[in-house]
Chain A
Amino acid sequence: MSFIDTLLNGEQGLMKSKTLTPMQKLTLRFVVVGLLYYGFAVVEGMIMRIYEVKAIPAIESKQFFAILTAHPLVGIFGSTYSIVFGAFLFLVPFLMKKPLWSIKLGNYTFLLLAFGTLIFWLAGFFSHYAPLYTLYWPLPADFTQFSALGGAFFILGIALVMLGTVFFVINIFKTITYTPEGWDKQPGGKLLASALGVSGMKNMFKKNKEEHLVSLPVAAIARGTVDTALNAGIILFTGVLILVYMVASLMGFDLKNSAVDALLYKNWFWWGLDLVADGLVLIFVAGTWYLLATLITGKKLYMENIARAALLVELVVSWTVWSHHLLSDQAQPGILKVVSGEMVTALELITQGLAFFITLVTLWSARPLKMTNPLKFLLGGLLGFALAVPAGIMQADIGLNRVLHNTQWVVGPHVHVAILVGLTMTLYSAIYFLFPILTNGAKLYSNKLANLHFWCQLLGGIGMGAFMGMAGLKGMLRRTLYFNGEFSLYMILAALAGSLLLIGFLAFFYNIVMSVGLNGVIGIFTKAETETKDLVPAEK
């Protein structure tokens, strides 16, 4: 095939978008938009990295902070939520062997995530609304620095994303518990209990153990979804609070900022945010590792019962760890710092360490394995969390936090390595694995490009985190600017590593476009020609 033929119709013309089911199209839409937002976040990151080295004259510092505010939100909501929600809306019915409860609701989730992200990004870009994702009170309601109107649009965008999240939560739990048309009545309550780990807990005290009604990956998705729901509630509540102040300001009233206690606010907001960072991510990731390990090897998961128990522990841990973000807040009670901030947080080392070990042993049990793209990216994802979780445990210590809080250490070896290496490489593993299933057998254009993608993502992510970490240990703060080149060397090295991430992403994107062709990409966004609720086309 000529280059133009491949560009238009994909590798060997194997991508036939007309054969895609509505479910395949839904999932692919989530993935395509999620990847576009990921690329967007990478470019934003590069701009900021360059700005940290030398201020770009065309960009004012308030624009820099607007980018800094949007960057993690685009990365988490626009990219990660899109890819994860799309994958799980496909995988839960796939693993439960029944149709998704509502494809229409799934499409609403997709649209709300895609447009909600666009709206809050545009609001930040044009109005420079920049209270950062932390929204420390009363900064989001400080209208001497920020436009109330721009802020209202920003909050509207976030609220749309959260509404889409609520729809996702409903769809997941309804899919687990509902009875499809023509089926025998399903035990909804028992399915829910199994998914949430209640029946597993009861089993621990029973002689005759009950069989698990849902598979371990579904249980992981269900438990992570609990955190997703709680987080959406907190963010929506906070958004409404901020919106009240904005509307009042637009109407000419100045509400007292002191009506909201800044420390109490910080506690509830971090409680909610940590449900994503320490709950949802770790639970979803562990569940995805287990699923990929069993799919790659065709073997049963090693120590499955302990893996189930660890997921339940992680869920409870995720509700009680938020105080490690307040170790430098002197008004925070010492007991919360020690118990929640240090001790409970240390449990994450144990739960994530067990997930790491169980996944590796499951893979080991099937040796010799072929080093496929899903396997190598899965190993990269495991390595990412093996690096990032201990870095986080170190900063969640009263003594070390005193000299690490808000430095580049936090956001480098911990946050960026966890997200870019741990989380993203796990997601890429799932994407490479699901690619032929979702495209009805389309062939990857180039394995060399996939290898380039792997090494760029791995070395770029670890390198960037390492140089940021070194700068942090030397005292470089996050969320600020230095004007005299104090940390330029570290930022240049981090930018070079970051450019590897960009090269890797471009290689991946080109590879995927050449695999499915431009017609295939367009076909993903057109209406499906069949109305089946089946996940993949029925075999003829």
Chain B
Amino acid sequence: MIDSTTVLNGQAIAYTLYVLAILSLMAWFAYRVTRQGKSSIKPALFYSFAGMLIVLGVSLHIITYNTIPWSPMDLNRSEIKADRTFDISVAGHAFKLPAEKLLINQNEKVLFNVTSGDLTYGFGLFRADNSMLFQMQVIPGHVNDILWQFDAPGIYSIRSTEYSGPKGVNMVLKDVVEVVASNQQVAK
């Protein structure tokens, strides 16, 4: 599965190129609009621009659905069998894990099922450099589950990704999720 860092790097490059293009366009426009010259614009340009916007708006989601692996997996997660499930509860600004450390085998599809006993929280996995692997919202009274495939060994921290009052800033569990290499299998 493509790592989320790769996806974000791709997004950063695409958006940066767009920003440079639109800054250049506006600078050019600001200069030229103060100068003499042809001032009529053919309707064809307008309709071409409108068409381009439609293509861009529609194609973004089609491209991401077909290139970001967790998109279809997320929408169809009820039909996919998880290799491992962790039931996690959260209440009083504290996560309660089923074990001190959540051990996962490389390449496993893991379902994190998180329930809240009081407030709205968030649930996210973060790498050692604080970058995000994924996150979801945790709403009280509802099922909050996310399916994720871990295809590389690694150690992750859990952090609440939603504001739940000032006490929520301490909702961090360091290095409690470990994905072990395929040659060191952990029992289910």
Contacts and interface: CB of A to CB of B under 8 A. Distances in A.
A375 B146 CA distance: 49
A354 B50 contact: yes
B53 A349 contact: yes
A473 B19 CA distance: 16
Contact of B15 (A379, A390, A486): A390
B187 interface: no
Contacts of B168: 480
B166 A331 contact: no
Interface stretch (A9-17, A169-177, A365-373, A516-524): A365-373
B61 A346 contact: yes
B15 A394 contact: yes
Interface in B1-51: 4, 7-8, 11-12, 15, 18-19, 22-23, 26, 29-30, 32-37, 39-41, 43, 46, 49-50
Interface residues of A, number: 89
A115 B120 CA distance: 31
B57 A349 contact: yes
Contact of B166 (A145, A262, A361): A145
B99 interface: no
B137 A329 contact: yes
Interface stretch (B68-76, B81-89, B102-110, B177-185): B68-76
Given A349-B56, A473-B12, A387 B41 contact: no
A442 B88 CA distance: 66
A487 interface: yes
A397 B64 contact: yes
B29 A370 contact: no
A476 B65 CA distance: 25
Given A142-B119, A353-B49, A393 B60 contact: yes
A330 B64 contact: no
Contacts of B68: 399-400
The A interface, classified by DSSP as helix, strand, loop or mixed, is helix
A369 B142 CA distance: 58
A407 B12 CA distance: 14
A151 to B, nearest CB: 12
A390 B18 contact: yes
A500 interface: no
Given A368-B36, A390-B15, A258 B57 contact: no
A309 to B, nearest CB: 11
A400 B7 contact: yes
B53 A353 contact: yes
Interface stretch (A18-26, A72-80, A130-138, A205-213): A130-138
A262 B121 CA distance: 11
Nearest to B8: A473
A367 B164 CA distance: 53
A539 interface: no
Interface in B89-134: 118-120, 122, 126-127, 129-134
B26 A386 contact: yes
A405 B161 CA distance: 9
A131 B37 CA distance: 55
B15 A364 contact: no
Nearest to B41: A361
Contacts of B169: 61, 480-481
Q: Give 7 closest A-B pairs by Cβ, nearest first.
A: A399-B68, A346-B57, A331-B142, A479-B163, A399-B71, A475-B131, A399-B64
17 contacts: A138-B118, A139-B164, A142-B118, A145-B167, A266-B139, A329-B137, A329-B144, A330-B144, A346-B58, A361-B41, A386-B26, A398-B65, A400-B7, A400-B68, A403-B133, A406-B161, A475-B129
